[in-house]
Amino acid sequence: MEEPSFVKIEVLKFFSNRMLIDDFGVRLDNVSFQKITEDENCMLIAPFEELEIKEDVWECGSDKSPGPDGLSFSFIKLFWHFINKDFVKAIQDFHAHGCFSKGCNASFISLIPKYSNPQSLDEYRPISLVRSIYKVIYKILPIKIKKVSKNVIDSSQ
| pLDDT at position 38 | 92
- CB-neighbour burial class of residue 50 (10 A; exposed 0-12, middle 13-18, buried 19+): middle
Q: Model-level pTM greater than 0.95?
A: no
Q: For residue range 104-124, what is the model confidence (pLDDT) as tens digits?
A: 666 667 787 888 898 888 888
Query: Average pLDDT, whole number, for the chain?
Result: 80
Angle at 147 between CA 142 and CA 127, to 5 degrees: 10
Closest to 136 measured CA to CA, from 77, 70, 65: 77
Mean pLDDT, range 45-71, rounded to an integer? 75
Q: For residue range 77-105, what is the model confidence (pLDDT) as tens digits?
A: 888 898 889 888 888 888 888 887 776 66
- Cα 44 to chain centroid distance, Å, stands at 18
> For residue 69, is pLDDT > 60?
no
Closest to 8 measured CA to CA, from 113, 121, 128: 121
State how far the Cα of 75 lies from the Cα of 132, in Å rounded to an integer.
11
Q: What is the 3-state secondary structure (H, E, C) of 16-61?
A: HHHCCCCCCCCCCCCCCCCCCCHHHHHHHHCCCCHHHHHHHHHHCC
Share of the chain above pLDDT 90, in %: 3
| pLDDT at position 155 | 72
| pLDDT at position 70 | 54
